[in-house]
Structure 1
Amino acid sequence: MLTLYCDFKGDKNIENQKLIAIDLDGTTLNSNSKLTDRTINTINKLNQTKHIVTIVTGRPTRLVTDIYRQLNLDTPMINFNGSLGFNPIQKWQYEYKYSIKRDIALHFANNSEKLGINLITAEDKELFLANRPAEDEALGFFPTKLKSENILSESSLKVDPICLTLEVRPEKEQDFIKYVKDNFEDELQISPWGGPNSIIEIASGGVNKVTGIKRLADFYNIKQEDIIAFGDEFNDKSMLEYAGFGVAMKNGQPKVKEIADDITELDNDHDGLADYIEKHFKI
C-alpha cells in the first residue's frame, strides 16, 4: 500500500486530504505539449492515494480529453480558465458553465479586420468554430484545416459560446485589450497568453480558475488550506494565490513566481512537476 507524506512549508495539517490542481501548458506538459512517461507514472501513483488530482486549464475540452485519459483521472476537470467544469467519464452534479453573449462573439468576428484580429475561435463544450484556418502550424491551438460546418458565421453560431480565443496582430494587441476593457469591462474577462504569439482568451466577466477550484473544493469538502495548485502563466496567478499552497514552475512568469509559496527546482522540459511531487509527497 502506498504511503504518502507531505512536508509543505507552513502546512500544519499534512495528513489532511489534498486537492491538487494542475495546470497543463508550461506545467504538466513539456514545451512540445506532451506528457512524459515520468509525469504519467507520478500522477498515476498520486491517484492511488487519498489525495485528489484534477486538471485546471485554459484549454478547451477538445485539447484536454486525451491528456485526461493518459493520466488515468476520474475526477472533474476545469476548462476554459474556469468557465466550464465537468467530468468527461461520468455525470457530475456540480457541472457548470459560464457563457459569452452570441452577439458579442459575432461583433468581434464581423469587425476582425478593424480590430486587428487574424484568427478567432468560438467554442462551447462540444462546439468549435473559427473564422478561417491557421496558416502557421506553430500556433498549435488553431487548426490548419477547417470543415465547412466549422466556419464561424451568424448561421453556424447558434448558441452563446463559452470562450473566444483570438490571435491578433502583435502591434494591435494592446489596442485590442483596451478596446475590450473600454467597451465590455463588466461583461468580459480578457486573458493574454503571453509568450511569442499574441494570443488572447475572452470569457465571461469575473470568471477565472478560482471559480472552478471553489466548485471542486466544495464538492470534495476540501478546505482552502488543503488546496495545492501548480502553474506557470498569468492565468494561473489567481489560482496560486487562492490555494493554501501555490507552486510556480521554474519556467513560470516572474510575477507568478513572486506570489507563489514555492517554485519547482526543474522546468517543464525536465519533469519539474513530477520531480516536485515525488520529492514533497515521497512517492
Structure 2
Amino acid sequence: MRLVATDLDGTLVRHDRTVSPRTVAAFRRLHDSGVAIVLVTGRPIRWIFPVYSQLNVPALAICANGAATYDPATDTIVHSAPLEADVLAEACARLRAEVPGVVFAVERDGGRQMRHEPGFPVGPWEADHESVGPCTPEELLTRPAAKLLVRAGVQSPDEFTARVGACLAGLAEATHSSSSGMVEVSAAGVTKASALALVARTQSVEATDVIAFGDMPNDLPMLTWAGRGVAMANGHPMVRAAASDVTKYSNEDDGVAEYLERIFSF
C-alpha cells in the first residue's frame, strides 16, 4: 500500500478528542517510510488543527466530506468543490417545503467559517467561536458553501438522511456522520471518495494501492473506492457490512494503529 487515508472522529480520534501515543507512533513510521497519509473527514478546516498538533505529520486533509482539500504546509485550500449559491438556494427551498421545522447552517471557505439560522443548535464548544455566528435565512444563501447542515428536531439519523437524500436527488449529496440527527449535504458528486481519488491521481497512486479507514456512512464512498476499505470495530453496521475488512479494536483501543502495525510489519 502506498497511501493510507483515514477518517478522524470515531476512527483515528478517541471520544475525548485525543490521538493515542500508539497511533501517533504508527503514523510517524508510515511517514518516515514514504507512505502518503491523507486525513479524510467531515470536519471543517477549523476543527483540523488540534489533530495536526497531536499527530505531528504534515498530511493533506480532505475536509467537509470532500468539499475542500487543505494543505497545512501552505495553509491553503488546494481544491474545493462547494455547493454554489443557486444550488444551495434550491436545496433549502426543497427541504423547507418537505420537512416541517427544518433549520440550516452552512460551512463556508472549507469550514473556516460557519453561519447558521437562529434556530440551529450550535455545540457549546463553538457558541463563542469567532468564526461561527448567526445570520438570516436570506444571508445564508448569498455565498457558496462547502456543506449545508440540516436539522429538524430529534430524528433517526439513517431515516432522516434518506429523507433528505430523496428530496435532493439529482441536486446534491446527503450523508451523516453522527448520531445527532444532523444531515450533511454536499454538491452533487462530492464525497470523500471523489476528493481522495483526485489526491491519489496527483500522487500517481492507484486505488488498488490505497488503504482507507472509517466508521460512519459518510465514509462508505471512500471505503468502497479504496483497494482496501477497513471499517472500525465500533463502526456503523452498514459500514462494517460494506468494508473489505474490519479492525479488531475500536478507536478507543488503537484499532487503526494495531491494524497498520500488522499490515506494515512495524
TM category (shorter chain) comes to 0.7 to 0.9
Partner of 1:237: 220
User: Of the candidates 101, 104, 107, which is equivalent to residue 122 of structure 1?
Assistant: 107
Match of 2:195 in 1: 212
TM-superposed deviation, 1:104? 5.1
Aligned letter for 1:168? A
Matches within 5 A, 1:22-171: 22-90=6-74, 95-103=78-86, 105=88, 108=92, 111=96, 115-118=100-103, 120-125=105-110, 126-132=112-118, 134=121, 137=124, 143-145=126-128, 150-153=133-136, 154-155=138-139, 158-171=142-155
- Judge conservation of contact 1:27–1:249 (CA < 8 Å) in 2: yes
User: Greater shift after overlay, 250-259 or 102-111?
Assistant: 102-111
Q: 1:113 to 1:204 in 2, by over 3 A?
A: closer
Q: Which amino acid aligns with 1:117?
A: V
- For structure 1, which segment, 36-45 or 263-272, has the greater mean C-alpha deviation from structure 2 after superposition? 36-45
Tell me if 1:188 matches 2:188: no
Provide the aligned C-alpha RMSD in A: 3.0
Structure 1 window deviating more from structure 2 (127-136 vs 65-74): it is 127-136
Conserved 8 A contact 1:121-1:131: no
Q: Distance in 1 between matches of 2:73 and 2:129?
A: 27
Q: CA deviation at 1:236?
A: 1.0
Higher Cα radius of gyration: 1
State the Cα distance separating 1:134 from its structure 2 match.
Answer: 3.5
Report SS of the residue matched to 1:27.
coil
Query: In structure 2, how many angstroms separate the alpha carbons of the residues matched to 1:148 and 1:275?
Result: 37
Higher deviation after alignment, 225-234 or 163-172: 163-172
Conserved in 2, the CA contact under 8 Å of 1:112 and 1:118?
no
TM-score computed with the length of structure 1 as normaliser: 0.80
CA distance in 1, matches of 2:196, 2:131: 37
Change (3 A) 1:209 1:100: same
Report the more deviating stretch, 72-81 or 222-231.
72-81
Letter in 1 for 2:259: Y
Q: Give aligned-pair identity as a percent.
A: 26
1:32 shift after superposition: 2.3
- Note the residue ranges of structure 1 that are not aligned, 5 or more in a row: 1-16
Gaps of 5+ in 2: none
The answer as to 2:248 corresponding to 1:265 is yes
Q: How many residues align?
A: 260
**For the residues of structure 2 that align with 1:56 and 1:281, how far apart are their CA atoms?**
21
Spell out, residue by residue over 1:204-225, the C-alpha distance to the aligned partner (whole angstroms, 9 max, x if none): 0111111111111111111221
Q: Is the 8 A contact 1:99 1:160 kept in 2?
A: yes
Highest RCO, 1 vs 2 (Cα 8 Å, sep ≥ 6) = 1
